[in-house]
Amino acid sequence: MPANETIPESTAWAVIDPKAYADGVSARDAFAWLRANLPLGKAELEGNFPFWVVTKHADILEISRQNDLFHSGDRSTTFTTPEGDETVRRMTGGSPHLVRTLVQMDAPDHPKYRLLTQSWFLPQNIRPLEERIRKIAREHVDRMAAMGGECDFARDIALTYPLRVIMEVLGVPPEDEPRMLRLTQELFGAADPELNRSGAAAGDNPDAMADLQAIIADFFMYFKKITDDRKAAPRGDLASVIANGQIDGAPISDFEAMSYYVIVATAGHDTTSSSTAGAIWGLCEAPEQFAKLKADPSLIPGLVDESIRWVTPVKHFMRSATADYEMRGRTIRAGDWLWLAYPSGNRDEEVFDDPDAFRIERNPNRHLAFGYGAHLCLGQHLAKMEMRILWEELVPRLQSLELAGEPKLAVASFVGGPKRLPIRYRLS
């Protein structure tokens, strides 16, 4: 391979190292360098599989929309080491995935499974949830008021609000939420000693795979109860749609129903929490934006989109090529693995003016935080609706807002965002 295809070693490490996303600058700077100098480069790091890093907005879209040429199911959909891959294949009898959710499927299965719940998630079909969500939003704003002008917005509000919403949607009772919260954090925070099961630093836990399997087993055990219940007595919730779903005229298997709950419970929660916290962080960093929002609440949808772009909670998904493909003068070979760098696409100077700035008036805001193509986020309308409702309840009452300490980002190269956000505020 010509040398100019290879990404410099320190830059490639910054792409995969969970810590590089926690300091706020290392991953961001690595991506800025790549976009300018090597927009499609190959990472060849010792002890790792080689993989392409796709950093440009246009290229991420080009790959994401060609689902027959770039598969999700053939190799791990998130980055893993050769040892991690081998362990998973050993545990599963050859599959590179511990769960089989929509994210790990390709056609012909993917569209069939997606169709089961697709219409449930359409804007017109989630609208009836609006009042229930508004009630949860009001409870959270009241909780902020009761905290007397200071809180850790990430931990006290942004973490529990989307959790409550998604659990309501799935039909999980409030008393089981702490368990769901812990499991979700352990799953996505696997590299973060403050969140994971063992308390070990990234790369230092020899039992990481066994922990992951135990976490998934816990999820499965919990949702088996829900499946059995909804089969016996279906209700209007999403759990009933999943439990009683049919594929090719046969009932969906327990394993696949369980995988479905896991993706909704996990994907629907941490991502939205991070974006919600990011909105408040952005407004603290840019007080003139807060003033504009107070003066003109019609900017709330812009705040929602901009915070999702600015945080980009999903840091990557992987694809693998099914055939040779030419892009930017390079040849991606059949079987090659590709890292779709969403945070990089969302800071692409060719698409966004002053991309590091937080600007709620960006219009259009063509961010790709929800992915693109056949796997485009199923929950995007729900995520945006719940964030909009929270801001509709909070912003009119919020008289002042500022940081009261150092924000902290999660140590995560898959899903992450602000996990500590100390703020000071006045609420009417």
Shortest Å, Cβ 206 to ligand HEM: 29
Of 80-88, 200-208, 243-251, 271-279, the segment contacting ligand HEM by CB under 6 A is 271-279
**Binding to ligand HEM in span 125-154, by CB under 6 A:** none
Shortest Å, Cβ 348 to ligand HEM: 16
**Binding to ligand HEM in span 329-388, by CB under 6 A:** 369-371, 375, 377-379, 382-383
Shortest Å, Cβ 390 to ligand HEM: 13
Residue whose CB is less far from ligand HEM, 189 or 313: 313
CA 395 to CA 177: how far, in whole Å?
27
Using CB under 6 A, pick the residue from 268, 282, 416, 422 that binds ligand HEM.
268
CA 10 to CA 21: how far, in whole Å?
14
Of 132-140, 217-225, 306-314, 345-353, the segment contacting ligand HEM by CB under 6 A is 306-314
Shortest Å, Cβ 246 to ligand HEM: 18
Using CB under 6 A, pick the residue from 314, 341, 401, 409 that binds ligand HEM.
314
Of 26-34, 198-206, 312-320, 324-332, the segment contacting ligand HEM by CB under 6 A is 312-320
**Binding to ligand HEM in span 65-84, by CB under 6 A:** 72, 77
Shortest Å, Cβ 168 to ligand HEM: 11
CA 228 to CA 223: how far, in whole Å?
9
Residue 264 contacts ligand HEM per CB under 6 A: yes
Residue whose CB is less far from ligand HEM, 44 or 109: 109
> Strands 337-341 and 51-54, how do they pair?
parallel
Of 39-47, 194-202, 267-275, 293-301, the segment contacting ligand HEM by CB under 6 A is 267-275
Residue whose CB is less far from ligand HEM, 371 or 416: 371
**Binding to ligand HEM in span 184-243, by CB under 6 A:** none
Using CB under 6 A, pick the residue from 30, 166, 277, 398 that binds ligand HEM.
166
Using CB under 6 A, pick the residue from 20, 239, 308, 321 that binds ligand HEM.
308
Residue 102 contacts ligand HEM per CB under 6 A: yes
What is the binding site for ligand HEM (CB under 6 A)? 72, 77, 102-103, 114, 166, 263-264, 267-268, 271-272, 275, 308, 313-314, 317, 369-371, 375, 377-379, 382-383
